[in-house]
Structure 1
Amino acid sequence: MAFFDYLNTKKNSDLTEQRHQLRQQYRSARRALPPYQQYAQAKKLCALLKRCPEFIHAKSIASYLPNDGEINPSFIHQLAWALGKHVYLPVPTQQKSLRFVPYTRHTQLVTGQWGIKQPRCAARIATQVSLDLILVPLVAFDSTANRLGRGGGYYDRFLASSKRSHRGIKSFGLGHSLQQVEAVPVEAWDITLNGIATPKQIFRSL
């Protein structure tokens, strides 16, 4: 048994190191994109996503504000508002999951955890909402909609809870095309998304 325990420990250690290296590599790559390219890619992403059935039919959309070179969904927010959709932003909970709070053109923002902007007084108004679509930031992804995040597990916990309660929320990761890898090294707790949207194309889970 000791030998097999050693093999399992080594396998887990190798997987952890592989994920760590991928995070370093692809966070650096997206941060290196110049502002004009970030802007152009964000517009292309919006143009592609607006034809996606999950976006078209969604009335309530959870999204995020970009940080650390993440692709910017602000054009998607503007389109959603113009179409009469409701937009929500994430707020971390003490259980290391997420709640989503309303976000409009007039929402005042403050700097929250990890330097990420969030709505002012979000802690008071963070209540469970009924979402149709959640747009998820990512560090890397593959063509079968596996996602590598920053490592905190916040989105995985929220999505796992949503699946257990059968809420039927569709989940799409948003990323630059350069963040695609052949296969994301997944852990047991990782949640496969319904799809990944990039400026070039949409990938869907198997």
Structure 2
Amino acid sequence: MHGNSPKSLRQDLLKQRKKFAAGQNYTQTKDRLMAGLIQFLQRDGKSLSTIALYWPIQDEVDLRPALISWANQVSGRRLALPFARPDKHLDFYEWQDGEVLSLSQHGVPEPSPNNPARPAITPDCILIPCVGWSSSDLAGKAQFWRLGYGGGYFDRTLAQLRKNKPNLICMGIGFDWQQLNDDQWSAQTHDEPLDMLLTESGLLR
């Protein structure tokens, strides 16, 4: 049973993820999720030129191999990583495998905003790791919500980016067991919905 606050819920879920990542079924489950990502890249990736990924921390799924392969297949495709600004918004900067990154105040590797060779870019698609996730029904259409680490960086950033880029795709990355019901957690008014959610069971749109 989870605690009755978002903070204790996050702590419980992160402990569960650590245990899950060390379990015997993790590799098989992760491979199923990665297969879903590869399928998305093969089908929808043709219309994308820039995908923002995350640098995996705290047992998050490492998406880099599949995304690096996608970027290398066609000239002009780019990958980006987020940079956390002091005002708790994210900027995205082009990233290539092997580049040196710096640690943010939260200990997350991130690109330098002062590298003239790697300008800030607005991605077509953003892949966002979930600590937990939930779904709701709005007028017969499913909506997906992300429980993150509590900083609000992605919510503020998505709210701003969507004003300028309505066709932006925001995809949550998580596992089936991370799904939360209304008794455990429900999205707040400031939470930004996900356009898609990828788990080992497939891509939910």
TM-score, normalized by the shorter chain, greater than 0.5: yes
Is 1:173 the counterpart of 2:172? The answer is yes
Is 1:123 the counterpart of 2:123? The answer is no
Distance 2:56 2:103 in 1: 12
How much identity, in percent, do the aligned residues show? Answer: 25
Is 1:27 the counterpart of 2:39? The answer is no
Q: Deviation digits for residues 70-98 of structure 1, max 9, x if unmatched?
A: 22212332332232331100110122100
Residue identity matched to 1:199: E
Q: Deviation digits for residues 122-146 of structure 1, max 9, x if unmatched?
A: 1313754131100011110124311
In the alignment, which residue of structure 1 is the partner of 2:32?
44
CA RMSD of aligned residues (A): 2.3
Among candidates 33, 44, 48, match of residue 58 of structure 1: 48
Asked whether the equivalents of residues 42 and 71 of structure 1 are also in contact (C-alpha less than 8 Å), the reply is yes
In the alignment, which residue of structure 1 is the partner of 2:88?
96
Residue identity matched to 2:47: H
Paired residues in the alignment total 187
In the alignment, which residue of structure 1 is the partner of 2:64?
74
CA shift, 1:161, in A, is: 0.1
Is 1:105 the counterpart of 2:97? The answer is yes
Structure with more strand by fraction: 2
Distance 1:111 1:185 in 2: 32
Distance 1:133 1:17 in 2: 33
Query: Higher Cα Rg: structure 1 or 2?
Result: 1
Structure with more helix by fraction: 1
CA shift, 1:110, in A, is: 3.0
Give the TM-score of the pair, scaled to structure 1.
Answer: 0.80
Asked whether the equivalents of residues 90 and 100 of structure 1 are also in contact (C-alpha less than 8 Å), the reply is yes
CA shift, 1:49, in A, is: 1.7
Q: Which secondary structure does the structure 2 equivalent of 1:78 belong to?
A: helix
Distance 2:81 2:73 in 1: 18
Unaligned runs of 5+ in 1: 1-15
Relative to structure 2, which stretch is displaced further, 107-116 or 85-94?
A: 107-116
In the alignment, which residue of structure 2 is the partner of 1:5?
none
Q: Deviation digits for residues 10-60 of structure 1, max 9, x if unmatched?
A: xxxxxx953223211211111112177555444322211222244342110
Distance 1:100 1:36 in 2: 35
In the alignment, which residue of structure 2 is the partner of 1:187?
188
CA shift, 1:111, in A, is: 2.4
Unaligned runs of 5+ in 2: 136-142
Give the TM-score of the pair, scaled to structure 2.
Answer: 0.81
